Amino acid sequence: MDISNGKAAQHSDCGHGVVQALNALSRFLKFQKSLGNQSMTLGRDAFHLLDLWGTPSWPPPPFVAQGPEDAKIVLVDSEGSFFNGQPGNLLVKMLSAMHLAPSDVYICNAADNTLLTRHILVHKPIVVVALGEKACRMTKGTGEPLAKIRGDFFQCHGVPVMATHHPGALLKNSALKRQAWDDLKQVMAFAGLDHHDS
């Protein structure tokens, strides 16, 4: 919104309260400028308010999953794109290279650690593949970056997890594809999928 001339632009999609607040702020700034004040000192509460200004508090995404619940391989998708769009198409190719089809795996988004934990404890998959940063951190229970964790299995409720790059990241940076394939080859060997020519 343009308040450079001391007037807040009013958009039809703005709530009445927001417009009122912007108009009041605009009048206050204009008044301060008329007094010759070029800067103001803001307190901690004001900075906190500014940090929150315009930041929507979206509800967390719902837990979404598809595929057979008793699948031996579970994929946790950071972006929740599953098999849709370009990342989804690449994921299908990655699974194909592992001698798997989308119908062979259980895939869920990285939205609810409690529901993922329940699934792992109830269905006891052979291995979990965490695709991307969010999935990696959720399954590992750490703030460490994917780059530091990928390449080696770690345990999540007694099930081995391999974290690797999300297909979306591979589309943006093809140099990561070698790392992702090395990670997936370890998954194949662990799950007994490498009896084919890999």
Element (H, E) at 113: helix 113-123
Looking at the structure, do residues 25 and 69 belong to the same domain, yes or no?
A: no
pLDDT-based confidence at residue 50 (cuts at 50, 70, 90): low
Looking at the structure, do residues 72 and 105 belong to the same domain, yes or no?
A: yes
Q: What is the pLDDT of residue 178?
A: 97
Looking at the structure, do residues 104 and 174 belong to the same domain, yes or no?
A: yes
pLDDT digits (tens, 9 = 90+) for 159-186: 999 999 999 999 999 999 999 999 999 9
Distance from C-alpha of 72 to C-alpha of 59, rounded to nearest angstrom? 31
Element (H, E) at 127: strand 127-131
Distance from C-alpha of 90 to C-alpha of 15, rounded to nearest angstrom? 42
Looking at the structure, do residues 183 and 106 belong to the same domain, yes or no?
A: yes
Domain housing 98: 65-191
Instruction: Provide the 3-class DSSP secondary structure of residue 77.
Output: strand
Looking at the structure, do residues 26 and 100 belong to the same domain, yes or no?
A: no
Looking at the structure, do residues 110 and 179 belong to the same domain, yes or no?
A: yes
Looking at the structure, do residues 178 and 108 belong to the same domain, yes or no?
A: yes
Looking at the structure, do residues 142 and 80 belong to the same domain, yes or no?
A: yes
pLDDT-based confidence at residue 195 (cuts at 50, 70, 90): low
* Overall domain count for the chain: 2
**Is 198 a member of any domain?**
no
Structure tokens at 6: 């001391």
Those residues with Cβ within 8 angstroms of residue 94's Cβ, 6 or more apart along the chain or in another chain: 167, 180, 184
Domain boundary at 41, 57, 73, which? 57
Looking at the structure, do residues 171 and 103 belong to the same domain, yes or no?
A: yes
Cα-Cα-Cα-Cα torsion 39, 40, 46, 52, nearest 10 degrees, comes to -10
pLDDT at 10 over 60: no
- Comparing 5-19, 82-96, 118-132, which segment has the lowest mean pLDDT? 5-19
Looking at the structure, do residues 126 and 93 belong to the same domain, yes or no?
A: yes
**Is 196 a member of any domain?**
no
Domain boundary at 17, 40, 57, which? 57
Share of the chain above pLDDT 70, in %: 80
**Is 1 a member of any domain?**
yes
Q: Comparing 60 with 6, which gets the higher pLDDT?
A: 60
Mean model confidence pLDDT for the chain: 86
Q: What is the pLDDT of residue 9?
A: 43
Mean pLDDT of all residues in 20-43 = 77
pLDDT at 57 over 70: no
Looking at the structure, do residues 34 and 131 belong to the same domain, yes or no?
A: no
Q: What is the pLDDT of residue 47?
A: 63
The structure's pTM equals 0.71
**Is 197 a member of any domain?**
no
**Is 147 a member of any domain?**
yes
Q: What is the pLDDT of residue 7?
A: 43
